[in-house]
Each structure stands twice: as structure tokens, then as C-alpha cells.
Amino acid sequence: MRLVAIVLIIAMCFGFFIYLCDADDRARDKRELEWRNFSMQHHCSRTERAGFWGARDTWQCDGFQVEHQP
């Protein structure tokens, strides 16, 4: 009986971990979709690509500049 309970607890923890990973992926996909829509509406083009140490790209959009983290 204890073995069954331990197996169920481990399975529940594993399932919760997978749920958290999926939620993070969904949030990242949503941010990328929002950025894509924004950049298409404002006719954005990349002016400076982030280097090895840089974490953000610089974009020129309809008269204003935006820094976006890829």
C-alpha cells in the first residue's frame, strides 16, 4: 500500500512539473506572437542585432526605436 502511495506522489509531482513547463512555453509563444503582430503593424526592421553579450535587438519602427529581447 505504501509503495502505491509513493508511486502516485511521484507521478503527481512529475505531472505538475510538466504542467509548469508547458505553461512557460505557452507564455513564451504568446509573447512572440504579440511581438510579431506589433512589428508587422508598425513596420519594424532590425537595425542592430544583439551580440554575444547583448540580450536585446534594436529595431526601428515607424519613427521610433524599440529594444526587443529575442
Domain count, the chain: 1
In the chain, the percentage of residues whose pLDDT exceeds 90 is: 21
Average pLDDT over residues 4-25: 89
Please report the pLDDT score of residue 13 as a whole number. Answer: 93
What is the maximal distance between C-alpha atoms in the chain? Answer: 68
Domain region containing 7: 2-68
In the chain, the percentage of residues whose pLDDT exceeds 70 is: 91
In whole angstroms, give the CA distance from residue 40 to residue 31: 14
DSSP structure class, residue 42: T
Which amino acid, one-letter code, is at 34? E
pLDDT band at residue 56 under the 50/70/90 scheme:
confident
DSSP structure class, residue 53: S
Residue 68, strand partner residues: 57
Instruction: State the sign of the Cα–Cα–Cα–Cα dihedral 17, 22, 25, 27.
Output: negative
